[in-house]
Every structure is written in structure tokens, then in C-alpha cells.
């Protein structure tokens, strides 16, 4: 299986294109996101059950170089840029804040029943300063293709629309599938 997706950014000029493919023991997302001042290539690899194994981000943002590497060991320990980050121990998802592609990881991994909110915490890349932080998230399946996504610590909530493969089709005010 290999799926290609392209999104148009809604809050400013930009786009994102990625490929989601199966690997022998998980999945791989590879993409390029670009805006007027940012061009980033990203790769996320998961193991069985959509649990993140590695993520890389390379490119430029606001005129500066970005080069980030994250690894999640089988023990649940995260290594960011060569440094162990104990505050991420036991977390399973990566959320690259500049792309809707990584919402697929939680949507697929959680296997959400309709109407039951599930809280999880992701290792989130904050694009305001390009650092990784824990981010509490709550997903609730509304129906077959719609999910409420909330970031309680930021007071953010939106209804995401996804296709049957769990790829975001609509992300209000931020992304729309092209």
C-alpha cells in the first residue's frame, strides 16, 4: 500500500505533500511542507500498531537551517538530537506541528470508538521555536470520518475530517486536502 496526499494551507500561502506507505514491520510517512519562508522535508517511521520509531525534519525556516532527529527506543525512551528526554518516556506518538500528516498516527493507533474521548500525549514539534515538548491531546470519534481534536493546554479544539485511511482531509482554518 502506498498513498499520496497533498494539502493546501489555509492560514497562509503554503502546501504539504506526503506519501504514506507500508513497511515490512510498520509504516512510513515522507513529505515536504512549504510556505513563503519555510521548506521542510520530513520522514516518520512507525512500528506495529502505528507507534513512532523515528522522525526526521530537514530544511529551512525563516531563513535558518532546521535539522532534527528523534528516535523512540523499544523501551519507550525518546532520544532527541542525541539527548535522552526522560519527560517523553512511555509516549507513543510524534506530532510534527507544521503538517497534518502526523495526526494519522494517533487516529490509526487509537482505533477510536464513536463518542469516547481518548487522551494521549504526543512528542510535539513546536514550530515557533523548533523544540520538542509533551503535548496533551484528546481525540473523540464523532462518526466514521470525523474526529474532535483538542489540545487542552492551548485551549484549542477542532473537528478533523479524515478519509478511510485515517489521513486528514480537512483541518479547520489550517489545512484542506487538495
Predicted confidence at residue 62, as pLDDT, reads: 87
CA distance readout (Å), 177 to 45, 85, 100, 115 = 22, 34, 10, 25
Amino acid 27: pLDDT? 97
Question: CB of 174 within 8 A of CB of 4?
Answer: no
Task: Tell me what pLDDT residue 59 has.
Answer: 97
Per cent of the chain over pLDDT 70 is: 100
Query: Which residue in 3, 55, 2, 27 sits closest to 177, CA to CA?
Result: 3
Give CA–CA dist 51/63, Å, rounded.
33
Residue 1 pLDDT exceeds 80: no
Q: Give pLDDT, residue 172.
A: 94
Helix or strand (DSSP H, E) at 109: helix 103-110
pLDDT at 152 over 80: yes
In the predicted structure, residue 28 carries a pLDDT above the cut 90? yes
Average pLDDT for residues 131-145, to the nearest whole number?
96
Q: What is the pLDDT of residues 43-74, one digit of tens each?
A: 999 998 999 999 999 999 988 999 999 999 99
- Quote the DSSP letter at residue 155: T
d(CA 103, CA 105) in angstroms, rounded, equals 5
Mean pLDDT value across the chain: 95
Predicted pLDDT of residue 63: 84
102-130 confidence digits (pLDDT tens): 999 999 999 999 999 999 999 999 999 99
At residue 160, the pLDDT reads 96
Q: Which pTM value belongs to this model?
A: 0.94
* 96: pLDDT strictly greater than 90: yes
Amino acid at each position: 500500500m502506498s498513498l499520496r496526499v497533498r494539502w493546501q494551507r489555509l492560514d497562509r500561502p503554503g502546501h504539504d505533500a506526503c506519501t504514506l506507505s507500508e513497511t515490512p514491520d510498520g509504516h512510513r510517512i515522507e513529505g515536504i511542507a512549504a510556505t513563503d519562508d519555510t521548506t521542510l522535508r520530513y520522514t516518520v517511521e512507525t512500528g506495529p500498531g502505528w507507534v513512532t520509531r523515528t522522525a526526521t525534519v530537514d530544511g529551512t525556516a525563516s531563513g535558518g537551517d532546521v535539522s532534527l532527529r528523534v528516535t523512540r527506543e523499544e523501551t519507550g525512551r525518546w532520544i532527541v538530537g542525541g539527548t535522552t528526554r526522560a519527560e517523553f518516556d512511555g509516549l507513543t506518538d510524534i506530532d510534527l506541528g507544521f503538517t497534518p500528516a502526523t495526526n494519522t498516527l494517533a487516529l490509526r493507533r487509537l482505533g477510536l470508538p464513536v463518542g469516547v474521548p481518548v487522551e494521549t500525549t504526543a512528542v510535539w514539534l513546536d514550530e515557533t521555536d523548533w523544540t520538542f515538548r509533551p503535548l496533551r491531546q484528546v481525540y473523540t470519534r464523532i462518526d466514521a470520518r470525523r474526529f474532535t481534536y483538542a489540545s487542552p493546554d492551548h485551549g484549542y479544539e477542532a473537528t478533523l475530517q479524515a478519509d478511510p485511511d485515517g489521513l486528514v482531509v480537512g483541518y479547520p482554518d489550517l489545512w484542506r486536502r487538495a
